[in-house]
């Protein structure tokens, strides 16, 4: 977690030694008494924890270093375009993810041990929005081969899979039962969080790659049979998400005015739901419940709403509100209930703060125990009780019951799959099984990605799609499935970087030789452990880094008096100057960022900068082993943990 506000609002200092160590160790002992193990520096690349924490496996450190100007783009390519290319190698939605991803990368950021995490989301939004304004496209695409893949579902996972498959020369057809592509981006998240202008642009950029067809308003198992899909296509990817919300597991949980958060948000995002009820209670505590209550506060209520225009009928798809209702909106009373205390709610912290500012009442540490209905069977109140959590299950506190009157109850306690017509694909949990290669274990040629495996984050679904695309490529080519890397992300590759700057090693002539330090057929004193190791803060020289406050995005957050009818976007994009400054806070964990510490502090002048014509990312410094005495000062003062003492342990 990030440091507390009290901690980050003052300049922090660091010591190299732990409490209880009182004797200053003279560096002269190292300088003038060589290491008898003959260890010398090796430059070791490891994966940073931001990237290891990213479910879609983005090369976060890579594009941050590009934005800050450490990794330079090829000639003729701007910083913005180069960062866009690196970012979208893993995830084709930088504008969307920069806005709505809860950013597990930021929680993993080693900078939390200095002051506060790097604003990764804000820089990613800058990359995505710059790509839109500059009109960058996905180019350098291979020819499409004979195989074709059916992708069932046009949400984040399905679109990401179509994108990754097209980059491999594989065409696809997306089947979706909505009018428009986007899935959860479009129908599960309010437009003031995923502005449609940017969403449509990122989707269209994928479709413009070509050889990606769509069949909209088409549900597999209803409008087209699974058997026909299998005959027409060489492989099938299931990315149908979880479109069914879970109702409250209480008597009368099926009352007409008890609806799911998923259905509520879809009706709003389709434009059918223009107003809501007078008194709304949402049961949840996660991000979906926050979206529900925030939307409810913006929609408000209308007095004397005709019965057939009540929220449940609109959400059920039986009717739609006239947009004229918006002119007569009044504020609605909106309450959110959560099993957990506010600090422990699974919703993103700033989203909870926004909801409170917008006038939502949050009742935390409570559980629903009874739905009270009238003679017509409609819910009129929700009875709640204080609760304790034991072994992951809530238990009501005796005598703590109380009632909250309501006209609408929204359940946002989880989602499930809708497998009607394709029941043979499902499991006992109404989801789909998948192995580590994202194959369906019981259906050869079928692959699975996204929430239908296990409901989680948008970035998780996109990560699934990337691996599934790899597996589909191997399946169609008749190849065996390789073991996936231990750290399964999009890694920095030094050989690719050397190739990009025309420094590719020469071919090895297969002749026995000694003393190859000057040879050009190998990359010397470098080891890549990125696929196996994530570098922790203990390996870094944290004393190198000064306190630097984050460059925060401007936030648009209406208060309770102004939230009604306010659908303006919440976050503003950083300027280029702000994005560069924020990216510069990255500590480049596991990769050299050219600070010169090792060159400056080496007492033997053994560590040196490589010649300008040989320099590139990861190849900034080298060691003259005829001078090195193994004192390991360079490793001690390397801020990024890029230097290990190795080569010659005896």
Distance (Å, whole) CA 212 – CA 206: 8
**According to the model, what pLDDT value does residue 1 have?**
43
Domain covering 245-413 in this structure, CATH number: 3.50.50.60
- What the block records as the tokens of 567 is 């659908």
SS (H, E, C) 260-300: EHHHHHHHHHCCCCCCECCEEEEEECCHHHHHHHHHHHHHC
Within 8 A by CB and 6+ apart from 43, the residues are: 525, 526, 527, 592, 618, 621, 642, 643, 644
**According to the model, what pLDDT value does residue 101 have?**
95
**According to the model, what pLDDT value does residue 26 have?**
59
**According to the model, what pLDDT value does residue 25 have?**
57
Paired sense of beta strands 279-284 and 333-338, if any? parallel
**According to the model, what pLDDT value does residue 22 have?**
58
**According to the model, what pLDDT value does residue 650 have?**
39
Distance (Å, whole) CA 354 – CA 210: 41
Domain covering 148-243+417-476 in this structure, CATH number: 3.50.50.60
**According to the model, what pLDDT value does residue 649 have?**
47
Equal fold, 148-243+417-476 vs 245-413: yes
Distance (Å, whole) CA 265 – CA 217: 19
Residue 151, φ and ψ in degrees, nearest 5: -110, 115
Distance (Å, whole) CA 557 – CA 563: 8
Rounded-to-10 torsion of CA 524, 529, 531, 532 = 150
Considering only CA atoms, which of 602, 551, 580 is closest in space to residue 64?
580
Considering only CA atoms, which of 289, 281, 253 is closest in space to residue 371?
253
pLDDT along the chain (650 residues), means of 10: 49 53 57 63 96 97 97 95 97 97 95 96 98 96 97 98 98 97 97 96 98 98 97 98 93 95 96 94 95 96 87 89 86 96 91 95 97 96 95 92 97 93 95 97 96 96 98 96 92 93 85 71 88 95 94 92 94 97 98 96 94 93 89 93 76
Q: Where are the domains of the chain?
A: 5-136+491-646, 148-243+417-476, 245-413
């Amino acid at each position: 977690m990030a440091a507390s506000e009290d901690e980050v609002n003052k300049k922090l200092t660091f010591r190299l030694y732990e409490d209880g160590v009182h004797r200053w160790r003279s560096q002269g002992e190292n300088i003038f008494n060589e290491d008898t193990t003959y260890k010398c520096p090796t430059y070791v690349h490891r994966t940073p924890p931001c990237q290891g924490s990213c479910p879609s496996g983005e090369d976060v450190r890579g594009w941050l270093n590009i934005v800050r100007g450490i990794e330079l783009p090829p000639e003729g390519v701007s910083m913005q375009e180069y960062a866009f290319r690196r970012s979208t190698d893993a995830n084709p939605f930088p504008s969307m993810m920069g806005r709505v991803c809860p950013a597990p990368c930021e929680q993993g950021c080693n900078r939390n041990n200095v002051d506060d995490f790097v604003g990764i989301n804000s820089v990613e939004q800058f990359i995505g929005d710059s790509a839109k304004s500059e009109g960058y496209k996905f180019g350098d695409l291979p020819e499409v081969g004979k195989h074709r893949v059916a992708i069932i579902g046009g949400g984040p996972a399905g679109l990401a899979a179509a994108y990754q498959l097209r980059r491999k020369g594989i065409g696809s057809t997306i089947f979706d039962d909505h009018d428009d592509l986007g899935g959860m981006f479009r129908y599960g998240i309010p437009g003031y969080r995923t502005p449609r202008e940017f969403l449509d642009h990122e989707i269209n950029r994928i479709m413009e790659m070509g050889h990606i067809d769509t069949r909209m308003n088409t549900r597999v198992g209803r409008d087209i049979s699974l058997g026909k899909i299998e005959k027409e296509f060489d492989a099938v990817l299931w990315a149908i998400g979880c479109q069914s919300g879970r109702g409250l597991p209480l008597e009368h949980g099926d009352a007409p005015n008890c609806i799911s958060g998923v259905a509520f948000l879809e009706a709003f995002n389709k434009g059918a739901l223009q107003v809501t009820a007078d008194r709304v209670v949402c049961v949840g505590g996660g991000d979906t419940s926050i979206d529900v209550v925030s939307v409810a506060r913006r929609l408000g209520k209308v007095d004397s709403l005709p019965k057939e225009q009540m929220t449940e009928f609109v959400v059920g798809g039986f009717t739609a509100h006239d947009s004229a209702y918006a002119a007569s909106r009044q504020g609605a009373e909106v309450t959110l209930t959560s099993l957990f205390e506010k600090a422990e709610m699974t919703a993103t912290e700033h989203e909870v703060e926004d909801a409170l500012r917008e006038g939502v009442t949050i009742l935390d540490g409570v559980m629903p125990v009874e739905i009270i209905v009238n003679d017509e069977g409609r819910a009129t109140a929700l009875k709640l009780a204080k609760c304790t959590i034991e072994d992951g299950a809530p238990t009501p506190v005796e005598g703590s019951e109380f009632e909250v009157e309501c006209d609408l109850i929204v359940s946002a306690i989880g989602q499930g799959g809708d497998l009607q017509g394709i029941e043979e694909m499902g499991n006992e949990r109404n989801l789909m099984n998948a192995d580590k290669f994202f194959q369906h274990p019981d259906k050869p040629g079928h692959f699975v990605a996204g929430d239908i495996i296990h409901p989680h984050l948008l970035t998780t679904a996109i990560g699934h799609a990337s691996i599934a695309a790899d597996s589909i490529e191997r399946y169609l080519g008749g190849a065996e499935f390789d073991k996936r890397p231990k750290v399964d992300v999009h890694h920095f590759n030094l050989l690719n970087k050397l190739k990009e700057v025309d420094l590719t090693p020469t071919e090895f002539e297969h002749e026995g030789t000694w003393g190859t330090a000057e040879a050009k057929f190998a990359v010397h004193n470098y080891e890549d452990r990125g696929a196996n190791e994530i570098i922790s803060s203990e390996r870094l020289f944290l004393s190198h880094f000064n306190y630097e406050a984050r460059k925060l995005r401007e936030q648009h957050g209406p208060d309770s008096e102004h939230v009604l009818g306010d659908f303006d976007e919440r976050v503003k994009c950083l300027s280029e100057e702000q994005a560069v400054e924020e990216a510069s806070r990255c500590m480049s964990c596991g990769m050299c960022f050219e600070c010169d510490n090792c060159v400056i502090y080496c007492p033997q002048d053994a560590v040196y900068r490589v010649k300008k014509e040989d320099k590139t990312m990861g190849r900034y410094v080298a060691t003259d082993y005829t001078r090195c005495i193994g004192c390991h000062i360079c490793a001690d003062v390397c801020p990024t943990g890029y230097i290990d003492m190795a080569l010659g342990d005896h």
